[in-house]
Structure 1
Amino acid sequence: MTDVQETTARGLTSAQVRERVAEGRTNDVPRRSSRSAGEIVRANILTRFNALIGSLFVLVLIFGEWQDGLFGGIIIANSAIGVVQELRAKRTLDRLAVVGETPVRVVRDGDEREVSQREVVLGDLIALGTGDRIAVDGPVAASRGLEVDESLLTGEADPVHKAPGDLVQSGSFVTAGSGSFTAEKVGREAYAARLVEEASQFTLSRSELMSGINAFLKYVTWLIVPTAVLLFASQLSSAGGVGDAVVGAVAGVVTMVPEGLVLMTSIAFAVGVVRLGRRRCLVQELPAIEGLARVDVLCCDKTGTLTEPGMDLDDVVDLGRDLPGRDALAALAAADQDPNATMRAVQEGFGTPDPGWTMTGSVPFSSARKWSGASFGGHGSWVFGAADVLLGTGDPSRAEAERLGASGLRVLALARVPDGSFDAPEKLDVTASAEPAALVVLRQRLREEAAETLRYFAEQDVTVKVISGDNPASVGAIARTLGLPGADHPVDARTLPADPAEMGAVLEGNSVFGRVGPQQKRAMVKALQAKGHTVAMTGDGVNDVLALKDADLGVSMGSGSGATRAVAQIVLLDNSFATLPHVVGEGRRVLGNIERVANLFLTKTVYSIILAVLVGLVHVRFPFLPRHLTLISTLTIGVPAFFLALAPNLERARSGFVPRVLRFAVPAGIACGVATFAAYWLASESAATGFEEDSATASLALFLVALWVLALIARPWNWWRLGLVGVMGAAFVVTLGVPSLRDFFALHPDNLYNDAVGLAIALAAALLLSAALRWVPFLAHRNR
């Protein structure tokens, strides 16, 4: 007899559990909500850019002065900030992953108790109910109408009935019924070990944003080697020595590397995850941040999203057909050992005592059938479910149910069906055979924050679609109460066309849909995506899982089933619909600010290439020492980028990241490069000046144009953005005004005529750039 076979209906004993724990036969799989600390340190230090900049830093230390190696501090800053931010994000994700983990109900010593997934041991008897996620693998021990969705494993969406002895696997979830199974494969042997690791990985996976940044970096890498060779050759003939040639070539090449772009992107993503974590929002993968910013349609369920998960029993309307409806309802409530929210409301609010009927058979509730049922020996068979499913169109009680439902109440029907109906429930025509006995009226609890949240989305041009399995009139009444546009004409999803294009047209023209089945939710998401929309889907029930999987962004409530939390990219642990505006706002902040930062860094790359090519072709000494460009880059890019990357930003993300950035960065870079070279060339033509004075003139011209580029990127202007630009300008003036700083950075603007010419050239370049960005149609996308 194996360990697994020893399990009885009483489960393992405490002694057996301790024995298995001591032997290591537990489900203790290492949690992978992020990279390990060692991986984080290695990933942030051992990078291609650190290797490149480090090599250039060593060359400057060998051939130049240490002041010209200040750019080497970028390695320390990039690595330190990246490590610190990701470690903070790791701690937040690890902590939230523990909070958001679905507990498992095990039977031990004859008692049912909840334990964490990591505390399950080999041979545990695990209880299952509707919505439960299966955490380990094993055979079914008991089944009471147990149906399992294995779509995460097989791709087949139809629930599978499980009888005793059938295998259930981790990664699937219960859609109907209840039962138990024995843990036969735990830990690394279970399928869940791989599923959880993949689902909760903290990584920057492929996205339009990261693909665009990688494209920029790839092109720059290709240009660095030929540019370095060209610069070294030209500097060797013009600078007078190998040392000066190396320093000049390094100065030209190091500014081509947008070393801070990846850093700022990672920081913005990581800070976004941490900020959302503080709002009890678990981001399971970083690309979800980008998806947040692009959402323009939000599909949400009514139950658990617009309304509180629980309900209150409002009334039981006896239909006067001489049927023991109240006794039957009390018997159904007493017999349900795993009640859903509806039956729980009946149990809590119904005053009729249990008649003591003995249940001889049952059919669990499923979202496909929209009813459940039970047989009670000589008291008949009863069904309980949606009124418009159980009641015929000509039944007067259906009209009463629709009248009540139109006021926002949820109305269910109780009816008797012929004995033997449950032998083949899938073939039962319940509408034709049901004999109505009572209407059960439930009052749903509206979320206090729902109306304000819907107003926020309307202001942000995000269209909200309420997709519910409930009666359309009832859903529409609740949506009207909350002020949702288009709620006056709810649509019965059973009338939707099957063709995706036609369905998409109906979806775009309406806001409220009732009687939506699980497969329809999935089809509706795909139809909206086919219309070019970026769709977010919220849900908390097992009937939402398929739609959550297919949506561009899946959002689950923390109180939802384990299955929904497993497939969603974002989990709202506090179950608050009001968190969603913060979620969307954080995504827009991150993506919009990364685009601003990309404009800054790519502008520097373009003007570095322009300067390097012009210097190489004309064969003059490179106008800057590395320390000059370190100062200018710090004041016009590095420091401002940090603040801009973390600033508020509610602009909805648009596609076309790469061409949009290039349409700004290329003309801005050309303006900076040409103006700088022109000022340097004119200054060097004067026999009365030397390299230090000429370099100071070039530095002044480059700083002024780059500062104006920063001002353009900082739009729309407000007090702190203008203040940021002003402080950077003041810092440069202080550097020129303090003798020790002036000497340290080798800036000596002693020729007033050349400096005035450089100033004039910079002003002209700034004006031409502004005019081009405003009036040239191809570039005017930046005009705000």
Structure 2
Amino acid sequence: MTTDRRAAESGLTAAEVARRVSAGETNDVPARASRTVGQIVRANVLTRVNAIFAVLLAIILATGSPVDGAFGLFIIANSVIGMVQELRAKRTLDRLAIVGRARPMVRRDGRATEIGSEEVVLDDVIELGPGDQVIVDGVVLDAAGIEVDESLLTGESDLVVKSPGDEVLSGSFVVAGTGAYRATKVGRAAYAAKLAEEASKFTLVRSELNAGVNKILKFITWLLVPAGALTVWNQLSGQQPLSQALTGMVGALVPMVPEGLVLMVAIAFAVGVIRLGRRQCLVQELPAIEGLARVDVVCADKTGTLTETGMRVAEVHPLDGTTEVADALAALAAADPRPNASLQAIADAYPAAPDWRSASVAPFSSARKWSGADFPPHGTWVLGAPDVLLPDGDEHRAEAERIGARGLRVLLLGRGDRTVGAAGAPGVVAPAALVILEQKVRPDAKETLDYFAGQHVAVKVISGDNAVSVGTVAGSLGLSGGDHAVDARTLPADSGALAKEVERNTVFGRVSPAQKRLMVGALQASGHTVAMTGDGVNDVLALKDADIGVAMGSGSPASRGVAQIVLLDNKFATLPYVVGEGRRVIGNIERVSKLFLTKTVYSVLLALMFVAPGLVGFEKLSYPFLPRHVTMISWFTIGLPAFVLSLAPNNERARTGFVSRVMRSAVPAGVAVAVATFVSYLLVYPGSAAPAPDLTRATTTALITLITTSLWVVAIVARPYTWWKVALVATMVTLSALMFVVPFTRTLFALDPGDSSFTLTGFACAAAGIALVEIAWWADGRFRPLEVR
């Protein structure tokens, strides 16, 4: 026995393992590509809008008026919603990683021991058996019919036979046979780990909603400084105390910030995530459902996405008129203790095995490419490759080759003239039937593809499998282009030429991991929003680069780590629900954004209007509204109705141009509300020297105008009406009226509607404001009739 052979049998010694550990030659696999808890907390707390409100809250608390600081609760709510969702997704993925963690059998000091995958060191001898995962790269030392499934690495579903001296790569699985291999690359040097590390930088999905809101917030941030300075100057020059001036400033600035819009976006996304979670869909990032709603190209892997694991019997063609074909197939499947994928498909098709007793069994071997059994007195039956069992020129072999050219797997069932254990077995084979197998297509795949076709979303099938096989599967699902699948090895390397080919064709086979990434990039360069679905290590780079990555829950930890959406039940059919949920979120957020930004517009204008008289030499007007007034307005004209409207059904197609569309409605409405409110205040303003009760009545009159016109904006946004929308508007009107009637709330919010003439003035100005809002709304619809409102 050679030294290498002895080393293979005994493995490393404890001293050799210790030396490798001290040298750092361990399986320190890179961390999964997700944010840490600290990163999640920082990203959700340290935001622009939180910073704005923290500063304003600190000012209010310094003035000694905590009741006016209720808006500070927004900071907590806005931060908690995002953190809870991301931490929930992280916890779920971490549990999946623990469940799927392999524990290999490693030979050390002459005996096999089960250890954790992270404890493997360089040169360890690792045993392999059916179902075992290859956790590090290595070289095969012993092999007894080892067949490896490398589909997670290459995308090819065909099994690969391994012999001593052959390389095995991390991320593959043993399907049949036994043996051992020596670890040659561990940790970050292993193939699967390299791909995972290349994709390990965490990147957030781009959200047009968030980008639009941030653009608005950025502009408002710069606006707050001069607006705040002017307001404080105006208040102080009116001989007001500093604390009162600062309270007035905060009261003017708080409504300028569409804080509820940020919160509502987070709530709408979170509710969408909860709804999708009920369908076993894990959303790692809140904006991901928005992103998928905007997708116009879906790149789908075949294996694990359109097809299930395993095969199925498509047809059986009897060749010699025998009536024993079904019994023979069932008996062969039942006789093999470890059926491969083909025999398992036959066992599924013929579950009722006859009472045939096997005298001897020859399991399938890739070396001989057939399996068989002796069934006295029924004879010897074999099942295998027609080109091995039949001679050249045989008509049945030629027929099998024609069928195989369509991407199907063809096996020959026949009788041998020698027992399976005899030399030269099975001898001359008498053909009995051709068994045609095809990949098991997911029952919901066609319905899903039809949905995307109806929504004008293109589907590209990009697989590492044989192009003919991929085309057959795509064609069976009715996907256009399945009849002319492209072998990716023939695609041009030039990015421009590649983009044209990817745009022109639908189905691609023999696609390498690097090519998948290039194809996604080519589609994006052509202006498409791309979603990529996959489950293997070979999909990781493309999943990361796509606008939205969708991974299967049973896929590799690396693919789950970089994807924004994980389908825990491995159902491709869940994607239409994700698209629908995204459309609901986007459509409703756009609808309610008009409420929030209308408030921003009229708040900015009112702040400037109350400062303007003092700037041009007239009597200075103090900003009349307190922060608590702003809170009351926000409750009934924005917050509560926006929350309800954001949860309504909505299947509008996602469109770009969110900010411009919303501002077209918000600016005219905000101008109308601001003008009506300011005129209302001027008409009843008693002068700066008037007693405090008179000023309170004037403020109350302006509030009546402001709330009434704002409620009308709510009524417009709620169109078209349904019973629950009418009930919503009616409820907001009732609650708003109660604020002015109930003694407790009148005291709390400093309201005095006692002067009926003032109140009538407020409603008259509100009526004029409503007319202006309706005219602006009509004009927007008249000149943009094609816009979906």
What code does the residue aligned with 2:636 have? Answer: L
What corresponds to 1:479 in structure 2? 477
Distance, in Å, in 1 between the alignment partners of 2:771 and 2:761 is 15
Deviation at 1:585, TM superposition (A): 2.2
Q: Is the 8 A contact 2:74 2:263 kept in 1?
A: no
Deviation at 1:222, TM superposition (A): 0.7
**Paired residues of 1:107 and 1:113 also in contact (CA < 8 A):** yes
In structure 2, distance between residues paired with 1:123 and 1:783: 65
Segment of structure 1 superposing worse, 258-267 or 172-181: 172-181
Query: What does residue 771 of structure 2 align with?
Result: 767
Superposition pairs of residues 640-679 of structure 1, within 5 angstroms: 640-679=641-680
- Correspondence for 1:428: none
Aligned match of 2:640: 639
Q: Secondary structure at the match of 1:8?
A: helix
Unaligned runs of 5+ in 1: 153-159, 321-328, 363-380, 416-435, 508-512
The more displaced of 631-640 and 756-765 is 756-765
1:491 aligns to 2:481 (yes or no): no
Summarize the alignment of residues 157-556 of structure 1 with structure 2, pairs less than 5 Å apart: 182=182, 204-238=204-238, 240-300=240-300, 304-314=304-314, 341=341, 345=345, 397=399, 401=403, 410-412=408-410, 440-464=435-459, 469-471=467-469, 474-475=472-473, 478-480=476-478, 490-493=483-486, 499-500=497-498, 503=501, 506-507=504-505, 516-518=509-511, 529=524, 532-540=527-535, 548=543, 551-556=546-551
Q: What is the deviation of 1:446?
A: 4.8
* Inter-partner Cα distance in structure 2 for 1:615 and 1:255: 15
CA contact (8 A) 1:749 1:755 kept: yes
Distance in 2 (alpha carbons) for counterparts of 1:678 and 1:773: 21
Partners of 2:671 and 2:258 lie apart in 1 by: 16
- The SS at the match of 1:578 is helix
In the alignment, which of 586, 592, 605 is matched to residue 610 of structure 1? 605
Q: Distance in 1 between matches of 2:765 and 2:748?
A: 26
Which residue in 2 is equivalent to 1:157? none
Instruction: Flag the 1:458–1:185 CA change in 2: closer, same or farther, 3 A.
Output: closer
CA contact (8 A) 1:140 1:168 kept: yes
**Relative to 1, partners in 2 of residues 1:664 and 1:30: Cα closer, same or farther, differing over 3 Å?**
farther
| Structure 1 residues 306 and 142: alpha-carbon distance in aligned structure 2, compared to 1, 3 A threshold | same
Q: Is the 8 A contact 2:93 2:561 kept in 1?
A: no
The 3 A distance-change label for structure 1 pair 281 and 384 is farther
Contact 2:583 2:652 in 1 (8 A): yes
Change (3 A) 1:95 1:146: closer
The answer as to 2:710 corresponding to 1:706 is yes
Residue type at the aligned position of 1:209: L
- SS of the counterpart of 1:690? helix
* Pair 1:337–1:768, CA change in 2 (3 A): farther
| Stretch moving more, 114-123 or 201-210 | 114-123
Are 1:754 and 2:758 an aligned pair?
Answer: yes
Partner of 2:749 in structure 1? 745
> In the aligned structure 2, how far is the partner of 1:349 from the partner of 1:15?
54
Q: Which letter maps to 1:60?
A: I
CA contact (8 A) 1:137 1:168 kept: yes
TM-score, normalization by structure 2: 0.72
Deviations 1:36-55 (A, max 9, x none): 55555555555554444343
Q: Is 1:558–1:565's contact at 8 Å kept on the other side of the alignment?
A: yes
Q: Map of 1:517-596 to 2, 5 A cutoff? A: 517-518=510-511, 529=524, 532-540=527-535, 548=543, 551-560=546-555, 565=560, 568-596=563-591
Q: Measured at CA, do residues 307 and 683 of structure 1 come closer, stay the same or move farther in structure 2, by a change above 3 Å?
A: same
Contact kept, 8 Å, 1:203 with 1:285, in 2: the verdict is no
Equivalents in 1 of 2:105, 2:559: separation in Å? Answer: 21
CA distance in 2, matches of 1:630, 1:451: 51
Residue-by-residue CA offset, 1:318-352 (whole Å, 9 max, x unaligned):
999xxxxxxxx99xx99x99998557647988999
Asked whether 1:733 is paired with 2:728, we answer no
For 1:637, the aligned partner's letter is I
Distance 1:713 1:384 in 2: 71
Higher mean alpha-carbon deviation, 767-776 vs 79-88, is at 79-88
The answer as to whether partners of 1:591 and 1:653 remain within 8 angstroms in 2 is: yes
Residue 71 of structure 1, CA deviation: 2.5
Tell me which moved more, 6-15 or 578-587: 6-15
Deviates more, 1:616-625 or 1:127-136: 127-136
1:501-545 per-residue CA deviation (whole Å, 9 max, x = no partner) reads 6546644xxxxx667332587776566556544333434567766
Q: 2:47 and 2:104 mapped to 1: Cα distance?
A: 46
2:56 alignment partner, SS class: helix
- Higher-Rg member (1/2): 2
Amino acid at match of 1:218: K
Quick one: structure 1 residues 204 and 261, their matched pair in 2 at CA, closer, same or farther if it must change by over 3 Å?
farther
Shift of 1:699: 1.2
SS in 1 for 2:509: coil
Letter in 1 for 2:677: T
Aligned-partner Cα distance in 1 for 2:240–2:386: 96
Count of residue pairs the alignment pairs up: 711
> Is the CA contact (8 Å cut-off) linking 1:473 and 1:490 kept in structure 2?
yes
What displacement does 1:615 show? Answer: 1.3
With the length of structure 1 as denominator, give the TM-score of the two structures.
Answer: 0.72
Q: Which amino acid aligns with 2:778?
A: R
CA distance in 1, matches of 2:6, 2:534: 39
Partner of 2:696: 692
Q: Which moved more, 1:177-186 or 1:566-575?
A: 177-186
Match of 2:417 in 1: none
- For 1:692, give the aligned amino acid: T
Amino acid aligned to 2:289 = I
Structure 2 SS opposite 1:311: strand
- Is the contact between residue 686 and residue 695 of structure 2 (CA under 8 Å) also seen in structure 1? no
Moved more, 620-629 or 514-523: 514-523
The offset of 1:606, in angstroms, is 1.9
Q: What secondary structure does 1:722 align onto?
A: helix
**Deviation at 1:565?**
4.7
Whole-angstrom CA distance in 2 between matches of 1:548 and 1:130: 29
Segments of structure 2 that go 5 or more residues without pairing to the other structure are 155-159, 321-328, 370-383, 414-430, 615-620
Indicate conservation of the 8 Å contact 2:462/2:511, yes or no.
Answer: no
Q: Which amino acid aligns with 1:242?
A: L
- Decide whether aligned partners of structure 1 residues 384 and 588 sit closer, same or farther in structure 2, where only a CA change above 3 A counts: farther
